[in-house]
A and B are shown apart, each in its own frame.
Chain A
Amino acid sequence: MIVTFPHMGEMYIPIKVLLDTSDIDYIIPPYRKKESLEAGVMHSPEFACLPFKTILGDFIYGVENGANFILFGGGCGQCRLGYFGDLQSEILRSLNYRINFVCVDLSNLSIKEVLKKIQPLTKGKNKLKIVKGIIYAIKTVYMIDNLSKLSRYTRCRETNKGDTDRIISNLHENIQNEKCYRAIKLLIKSARKKIKKIPLDKARRPIKISIVGEMYVAAHPYINFEIEKKLGNMGVEVYNNLCISNWITEHLIKKMLPFKLKNKPIEAGKEFIRTDDIGGHGMHTIGWSALSGKRNIDGVIHIFPFTCLPEVIAQCTFSEIQKKYSIPIMSLIIDEMTGEAGYITRLEAFVDMLEQKKLIKYTPS
């Protein structure tokens, strides 16, 4: 059994750790390859969202290069993510690929069910190693996300432009060749140390922008044209709560607790939409935009793929949020046709506008 999996930001590192530790063979699709995206677009329905198309493209690449097992997380509810797995396996089957497509229901995850479903993978493998792999993978997720959090802080303050980016891209290059958890952990730690040593301009007060919207697009730099890097190099401090570690904390760890914790963004979002769930991350988008307004953040960038159902509803509330918390919100809609130049222009214009606004606010009259 050879496994393949789709990319989502830096998720490939923890998955690599998991599969290496538990001795499972795998194929990683190339991180930025136009051909695999094009293959995905070709075989997807026209109005499917971009995540669907990129994921399908990655699967097709993996299957063509020898993978025969796909493990994918679905769910239920109104967001179409729940039905990605079913449709993708249908498409791959009609393209005459012979694969084992396993879909795990993420919304009510039970360990028993998951173990049963991945049986063909784990047969004859050391169980202890798999458990170890899962723990290592989760640890790696948190390490990676903490590193990118740190890099968001330094990127906008560094005195020599490009220091942070250089360290991060070095790290990614080195990780490709490593095979065991310990080496990857050391690499991440040393990168962290290096980033901490970058000379910073501590007196600088950068403008702050928070990114809200659909998680896959917000977390996958290849699709969002490295929005964090671009904004950071324009001298903007980026806040992005849409990362895997937050998802794990919210959906796995908090669910296991015997008591229920209030979900802050959802509570904040209820001010505008009086229900718990409009599918996907819709409520989070509304909530985080409102919270950003309360927390002295200068602007919000709302990023989502074309035809994303929940985000369109979230977008309807923005005129109200902008008025109430006087925070500018810009919506960026991304699909496979989005051009990078026009995208940069919009980012620059938005940042310019925020800088002007801040200047007026802090200039004594």
Chain B
Amino acid sequence: MITIGLPRGLYYFKHYVLWEEFFRNLGCDIVVSDETNKHILDMGVKYCSNETCLPVKVFHGHVMSLKDKVDYIFIPRYISVDKNEYTCPNFCGLPDMTALNLKNQVKILDINVHIDMFPYLILKSLKELGKVLNLEYSYVVNALKEAYLVFTKKQESSNNFEPFNSIKDKTKISLSILGHPYMIYDSYLSMKLIEKLNKRNISIYTPDNIDNITKRINAYPFQGKIFWDIGFELLGSAFTFTSNEVVDGIIYLTPFACGVDAFILEFIQRRFKSSDSLPILKLTVDEHTGEAGFDTRVEAFLDMVG
């Protein structure tokens, strides 16, 4: 039986249900790398070229940690994930970048996802994937279709999990944490931010609590235009949270030198300044960030908010 490795980084946090289900349908064994730890981070920093952002470095570390455990490592190439929604360039070159940085020590399976302009690219790469794994084409396509159904069902249920139009609990502070999913849900990179806030009895909202359409409608000034997918998520959430009175403040978690965040955050901050809305704390994280300083900033912000 073939074992497939899924690195716990970047795309994994958003689409893990889809790809895990897909490979399970194909009859493969799945190995997911451990949660990020010091060792994985160090390996990532060692192998990755030094200009990339922290999540990409960590991703390299995850791939390295899987190197000897699996036959293939799955790294999809996301170019656009929906109509008008593109990804950060790091995702477009991710499979090749990883292979080159790790000096071709790992075997990589990739699937090209370019929904905006060439949706049929997925089928083409499924064909190649089928050849590599020695499986029939129609079988592979069906596996993905079924996985996609499971994925959408799961996503719908997670949206209803904590509906945003709930009424504010006045006794409790509620904060919204914004950032790339691979920053806020990776407990090592986010320095356990969600856990820490939960301990203080603070309710937390993330972009996942708002449904996709609301986010797209509120994504000023890019409604209906071409933009980054993460941009829609974050702009949309920020402006949805300000229009409701449920949230007391926003914590924006960004990796050092993230080009996409630089622009998104500027849009949010400029708008917030002019319309006297929620307080916002920007936390920049890189491989040298110390936890103590990070905590102090969060505490100061919490004092200010409530």
Contacts and interface: CB of A to CB of B under 8 A. Distances in A.
Interface of A: 44-49, 76-80, 82-83, 86-87, 90-91, 94, 272-275, 277-280, 282, 306-310, 312-313, 315-317, 319-320, 333
A275 B89 CA distance: 11
A312 B77 contact: no
30 contacts: A45-B265, A46-B262, A47-B261, A76-B86, A76-B226, A77-B86, A78-B86, A78-B89, A78-B92, A80-B260, A80-B263, A83-B263, A87-B267, A90-B221, A90-B267, A91-B266, A274-B95, A275-B93, A277-B92, A278-B93, A279-B89, A279-B92, A282-B93, A307-B262, A313-B89, A313-B92, A315-B51, A316-B52, A316-B100, A316-B101
Nearest to A47: B262
A99 to B, nearest CB: 16
Interface in B210-267: 221-222, 226-228, 257-263, 265-267
Given A47-B262, A90-B266, A309-B90, 16 more contacts: A45-B265, A45-B266, A46-B262, A48-B266, A49-B259, A90-B270, A277-B92, A307-B257, A307-B259, A308-B259, A309-B89, A309-B259, A312-B89, A313-B52, A316-B101, A320-B100
B112 interface: yes
Interface string B61-88: 0000000000000000101000000111
A47 B254 CA distance: 11
B88 A309 contact: yes
Given A313-B89, A313-B90, A316-B93, A87 B49 contact: no
Binding site of A, secondary structure by majority: helix, strand, loop or mixed? Answer: loop
Contacts of A312: 49, 51-52, 89-90
Most buried by B among A86, A280, A309, A315: A309
Range of interface residues on B (Cβ < 8 Å): 35 or more
B96 interface: yes
Task: Give 7 nearest A-B pairs by CB, closest first.
Answer: A47-B262, A313-B93, A76-B226, A279-B89, A45-B266, A78-B89, A309-B89
Nearest to B94: A313
Contacts of B226: 76-77, 82
Interface in B247-303: 257-263, 265-267, 270, 273-274
Contact of A94 (B258, B259, B261, B270): B270
B97 interface: yes
**Which residue, of B86, B259, B262, B273, has the highest number of chain A Cβ atoms within 10 A?**
B259
A48 B96 contact: no
A87 B227 CA distance: 13
Interface of B: 49, 51-52, 77, 79, 86-90, 92-93, 95-97, 100-101, 112, 221-222, 226-228, 257-263, 265-267, 270, 273-274
A317 B89 contact: no
A247 B194 CA distance: 48
A316 B258 contact: no
Contacts, number: 106
Contact of A317 (B90, B96, B265): B96
Contact of A316 (B49, B112, B273): B49
A64 B222 CA distance: 28
Contact of A275 (B52, B112, B265): B112
A83 B270 contact: no
Contacts of B263: 45, 48, 80, 83, 87
Nearest to A79: B89
A317 to B, nearest CB: 6
Contacts of B274: 94
A272 to B, nearest CB: 7
Contacts of B92: 78, 275, 277-279, 313
A316 B52 CA distance: 9
Among A45, A80, A91, A280, max chain B CB count under 10 A is at A45
B90 A48 contact: no
A208 B97 CA distance: 28
Contacts of B97: 273, 313, 316-317
B17 to A, nearest CB: 26
B88 A78 contact: yes
A277 B273 CA distance: 36
Contacts of A45: 262-263, 265-266
B250 to A, nearest CB: 17
